[in-house]
């Protein structure tokens, strides 16, 4: 029923024995199973039915979660490091904003400086290209 806790449901479904209070490892495995099932949406079409299957299921879900996190990390890394000039510009703009706030520069002046900074973005990018070309030339 809806009012019974997960341990009572586990006893009723045969996942745990009636004397589960004397089997802390079984409680731990089943609690971990309940937590892992939450990672896959709270319910699974096929659920493990004995302690060995529980352990395999837990490790499979854990491995799948770690693999998914690794793939997400790679995607985020590619997206955030794709344009080094854009990253440098944003970092400089952040530093500029912090400096102007720290120095209590009036708001109209801040807006003027930020506008100039944004308009000079293309020029700064081309300047970085010239520096790159100079590094490629023999001394």
> CA-to-CA distance for 64 and 29, rounded, in angstroms?
18
pLDDT tens, 71-103?
999 999 888 877 888 888 889 999 999 999 999
Using pLDDT thresholds of 50, 70 and 90, give the confidence band for residue 122: confident
Quickly tell me which residue has 């904003």 as its tokens: 97
Under a CB-based contact definition with an 8 Å cutoff, are residues 114 and 93 in contact? yes
**Higher local confidence (pLDDT), 52 or 102:** 102
Please give the Cα distance from 30 to 28 (Å, whole number): 5
Place of tokens 């990390």: 73
Q: In this structure, how many other beta carbons lie within 10 angstroms of the beta carbon of residue 55? A: 14
pLDDT tens figures, 25-51: 877 877 787 777 777 676 655 566 677
Q: In this predicted structure, what is the pLDDT of residue 38?
A: 72
The residues spanned by each domain of the chain are 6-80, 84-136
């Amino acid at each position: 029923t809806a009012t019974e806790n997960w341990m009572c449901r586990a006893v009723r479904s045969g996942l745990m024995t009636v004397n589960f209070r004397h089997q802390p490892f079984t409680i731990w495995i089943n609690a971990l199973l309940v937590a892992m099932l939450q990672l896959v949406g709270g319910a699974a079409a096929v659920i493990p039915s004995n302690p060995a299957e529980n352990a395999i299921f837990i490790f499979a879900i854990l491995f799948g979660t770690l693999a998914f996190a690794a793939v997400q990390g790679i995607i985020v890394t590619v997206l955030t490091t794709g344009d080094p000039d854009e990253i440098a510009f944003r970092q400089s703009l952040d530093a500029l904003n912090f400096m102007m706030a720290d120095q209590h520069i009036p708001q109209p002046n801040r807006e003027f400086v930020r506008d100039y900074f944004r308009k000079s973005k293309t020029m700064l990018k081309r300047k970085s290209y010239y520096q790159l070309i100079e590094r490629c030339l023999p001394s």
